[in-house]
Structures are given as C-alpha cells and as structure tokens.
Amino acid sequence: MLELLLCSLVTIVPDYLYRRYRQGKRLGKEITFYSVWFELRWGIVTCLMLTVGLITVIFYFHPSTSTATLFFRTVPIVPETVGRVSEVHAGFSAPVKKGEVIFKLDSSRQEAAMETARRRIAEVDAALLAAQADILKADAQIQEAKSAYQQASDELDVKRELQKRNPGIVPQRDIEKLEVLLAGRQSAVDAATASKQSAMTNVSALLPAQKASAEAALAEAQVELNKTYIRAGVAGRVEQFTLRVGDIVNPMMRPAGILIPEGAGQRALSAGFGQIEAQVMKVGMVAEATCISKPWTIIPMVVTGVQDYIAAGQFRGGEQLVDAQQVRAPGTITTFLEPIYQGGLDGVTPGSSCIVNAYTSNHDRIVSNETGAFKRFTLHAVDAVGLVHAMLLRIQALLLPVKTLVLSGH
C-alpha cells in the first residue's frame, strides 16, 4: 500500500492535474467513478507497473523475513551411568554454578568397591611388613648356615691334616662323611641366601606392584563414585526440572533434564531469507529487527554469517534413494545477525520470534571511478528505496502488539 501511494504521486496525480488544469475536467463531472479508468488510464497503468517494479526492487535488494528467531543452546543433563536418584539439589527452576551438584545417584555399589580397594591396600601394606620381617629372618638363617658350614669346613681341614701327617690315623670314611656334610651346609647357605633374595624381591618389586594395582583400583572406584554426583558443566539455569528421589535415569533413554547456559540466546539472531535472495545476502550487510518480546523497538544489526547450504536439501545415506519431490517446502538461506551496539539484544527473551530487514549498500560502487553516471543513478535509486522498507518495518513494529493482542483472535 505504501509503495502504491508513493508511485501514485508521480503517475496518477500528474495525470489528474493535467486533466484538471489543462483539459478542464473535474471530479464528479467529467471524471466520475465510471469514467476514471478512461480518463486516468495512463496514470493508473503506469502507477501499477511502477508499483510492481518498486516492490520487486525493494524486496530483492532489501530482503525481509518474519522467520527470525533468537535461538539458544540447551545442555541435556545426562549421567554417565544408569542409576536411581538418591538426592536432588535443584528445584523446578533454579540457577546453578559450574561444578555445582544437581543431583546424586545411589552409590552403594561404588562405595563398596572403594572399601574393597582400601582393604586390599591395607592387606598389601601388612604383607610388606611381613616381607621385611622375612628379610631379617633370612639374614639370621644365612648367618646360622654360614656358621655351620664353617664348623664343618674346619673339622674337615683338621682331619685331612691328620691324615696327611699320619696316614691311616683317620678313617677315610670319616673324611668322606665330612665332605658330604660340608656340601650340605653349603646348600643350606645357598637356600638361606635365596630365601632372602625372594623376600627382598617381594619388598622391592612384587608387593609395590600389588599396592599400585590396589591404588589404581581405588582410584577407579573413586571415579565411578564421582560419576554418581551429576554436576553442572557450565553456569546457567535448570528449567522444568522435575526429577525426584527414586527416579531411574538412563543416559541412552531418559535424560534428567535441561540446563540452559548462562547468556544463551543473547549473542546472535538467526533468520531465514528466501532462496531468491541468495546472491544479495552478504556478510557485513546492515539490518534491523523488531521482536515480539520487545515491541516498539528497532534493533540495529549486522549480518555476520551466511550459511552456504540450505537445510531442506540435506539427506542421510541409507537403503532408499532420495526423490526431490519429497522436499515439499523450499528451504531458506540461513543468516546470522549480531547487534551493532553492545547490549542490543538485552530485554529480548531467548527463543523470541522477530521480523528482520536487511539493506543493500552500494556506496563503494557508487564512489568508484569505474562506475558510469547512469549506473550510479540506478544504484542511488536502489539504496534510496531501502527507506521505504525501513518505514514498513517501523509500521510493522508499531502494529505488532495490536496484531498480536487484538487481531489474532486469542
């Protein structure tokens, strides 16, 4: 309607003025309801054509969309293990800090595993003390065996000396018995030394390894116990948190709830523009937005990202071929917009629906020396008609509460 009124000022109005003051035709006389088409046909046809062209230029070079939403990220509250809830530390809606416990699962099995690991460590420590006592015992046995060996060796040396000085005085059988006894005493020394070496190996290698394994089992049990305390990974707020003591939670089938990170939905606005505007939407374009949750407010924004893919065309590889006819609704060009001024989205509720206008700027091409005069004029005209779209957005922002509260039928 606004475009039609503007175009009529340069088409129908001059045509009427020509008829009125040049030809002397008056409204209600020569120009009536039945003759207006014949009298003002040139102005009406030109007005319609100019209006269609103006609307096309405005909506192509200054695209608009009502499918804009302030999306916000949510984090599912999911435990790492299946369990029954034993404690709940958050209400239906409550703020949480990073690392704060939200709820706790039953931990009797994990606590029993930790107690078992502690007992195993205590058992290894006791075995270590016993092994150290075995070393002392082995030292005494070595000393005893060496003394017995020395005694047998001295007695054999004496008998051999006597036999050497006076052959026949010592029976050969006695010397052989002493030699056998000396070999046995040597074996006793070797056995006692081996026993000490075994005890020392237990103290230095085996028992420390067993203790390290027990400590690792204790650490593993501690990790499993920590998993029963479900904490907030980020600072934020839990909403609609209805978990209660006795409920079963499953990481695959039943998450516990939703955590909304702090500041979610306060950074960027996501908008979907028509596919025909794919060549117009560029990073750096100036835009304006008005949101339902913050009426009568125009938010200056800038396009910070244009998605290179249309989501409606995606598919997953499977056992069936994809038919293009299955894509019923055409997708949109997803763009991301951020406020030009800090705090521009303050007061806009995350998830709110918005209306967005983007404006093409040809300033760099206009000031370029390579641009001709006619092209400069055309580019000036394209930039100028963006004012019409800006006026339309402000009218929409003004009527949005009336449309929502009065004309929606709710």
Highest mean pLDDT among 279-283, 365-369, 374-378, 404-408: 279-283
Q: How confident is the model over 172-214, as pLDDT tens digits?
A: 776 677 677 777 777 777 777 887 787 787 777 787 888 888 8
Q: Give the pLDDT confidence score for residue 93 in this predicted structure.
A: 87
On the question of pLDDT at 138 being above 90, the answer is: no
Question: What ranges make up the beta strands (E) of 162-293?
Answer: 229-231, 236-239, 248-249, 257-261, 269-273, 286-291
* Of 112, 115, 120, nearest in space to 213 by CA: 120
On the question of pLDDT at 162 being above 90, the answer is: no
Question: Which residues, 6 or more positions from 320, have their beta carbon under 8 angstroms from its beta carbon?
Answer: none
Report the CATH architecture of 75-106+230-261. Answer: Beta Barrel (2.40)
Q: What is the pTM of this model?
A: 0.69
Q: How confident is the model over 232-264, as pLDDT tens digits?
A: 888 988 988 888 888 888 887 777 888 888 877
* Of 388, 394, 400, nearest in space to 57 by CA: 388
Q: What is the mean pLDDT of residues 349-370?
A: 88
Q: What is the mean pLDDT of the chain?
A: 83
Q: Give the pLDDT confidence score for residue 170 in this predicted structure.
A: 63
Q: Give the pLDDT confidence score for residue 410 in this predicted structure.
A: 55
On the question of pLDDT at 335 being above 90, the answer is: yes
Q: Of the CATH numbers 2.30.29, 1.10.3470, 1.10.287, 3.30.420, which one belongs to the domain with range 107-215?
A: 1.10.287
On the question of pLDDT at 46 being above 80, the answer is: yes
Question: What residue segments make up the domains of the chain, in order of their start?
Answer: 1-50, 62-72+265-312+330-404, 75-106+230-261, 107-215
Question: Which residues, 6 or more positions from 12, have their beta carbon under 8 angstroms from its beta carbon?
Answer: 40, 43, 44, 47
Is residue 67 within 8 A of residue 332, CB to CB? The reply is yes
Q: What is the mean pLDDT of residues 388-402?
A: 88
Return the amino acid letter for 165. R
DSSP 18: I
* Residue 53 backbone dihedrals phi, psi, to 5 degrees: -65, -40
For tokens 């939703």, the residue is 258
On the question of pLDDT at 88 being above 70, the answer is: yes
Residue 283 pLDDT level (bands cut at 50, 70, 90) = very high
Q: Give the pLDDT confidence score for residue 80 in this predicted structure.
A: 85
Q: What is the mean pLDDT of residues 317-333?
A: 79
The correct answer on CATH 2.40.30.170 for the domain covering 62-72+265-312+330-404 is yes
Q: Give the pLDDT confidence score for residue 168 in this predicted structure.
A: 66
- Residue 297 or residue 135, greater confidence: 297
Q: What is the mean pLDDT of residues 38-63?
A: 83
Q: What is the mean pLDDT of residues 140-150?
A: 76
On the question of pLDDT at 398 being above 60, the answer is: yes
Q: Give the pLDDT confidence score for residue 389 in this predicted structure.
A: 84
For tokens 């006793």, the residue is 188
From 106-120, 122-136, 297-311, the region with the lowest mean pLDDT:
122-136
